[in-house]
Amino acid sequence: MLESLLESNESIILDREGREYHLKVAGEEDQYFIAKLLYRNSEVGRIQCVFNPRGELVINDLFIHNDIIHTPPHLLAVLWRLLVKPKPIDYRQRGLGTHLLQFVIARYRQRGFKRIYGSLTQEDINNNPNLVKWYEKLGFQILPPSAENIETAVCGISMDLEEKSS
């Protein structure tokens, strides 16, 4: 069951409150991977990764939107929207980023990738002060910036994907 889910290019996930989202693999080529989370046909989150020649996966971006205004389903709703300005919806703190990242980790661990890593910038941390703790909670090591990180990194994140034998 889990294996077929990991190989599938579309699945359904639930947030912490039981709402249904569609996880879609939007692109998987020789050099990159993109997965999107959709709610009511609107993209609410995305992860973008690049494959490197050493069998490693580099997280280029992972984000959950905090400012979505959904497209009305019919004309009456459009007219109502013109009168009443809806508040944007924040999809953070619902477990969606965790779902996206765990999906990618499991998918590429199963495919024999050795490691997943990325960079955190000050802007990332300012936008989400709990980001470093979140990555640690998911099993990532927090490392000083190195040559493999982007120029503006304040720290690196890294997780070994190879199964350890006892």
**φ/ψ of residue 55, rounded to 5:** 75, 35
What integer best gives the mean pLDDT of the chain?
Answer: 84
Q: What is the pLDDT of residues 29-71, one digit of tens each?
A: 778 899 999 988 888 999 999 998 888 999 999 988 876 555 5
Domains of the chain plus CATH, in order, are 2-113 (3.40.630), 114-160 (no CATH)
For β-strands 42-52 and 10-14, DSSP reports them as unpaired
Global pTM reads 0.80
Strands annotated E in the chain: 10-14, 20-28, 32-39, 42-52, 56-64, 115-121, 141-143, 153-160
Q: What is the pLDDT of residues 71-81, one digit of tens each?
A: 555 566 555 55
Q: What is the pLDDT of residues 108-137, one digit of tens each?
A: 999 999 999 999 999 999 988 999 999 999
Token pair of 110 as six digits: 């199963």
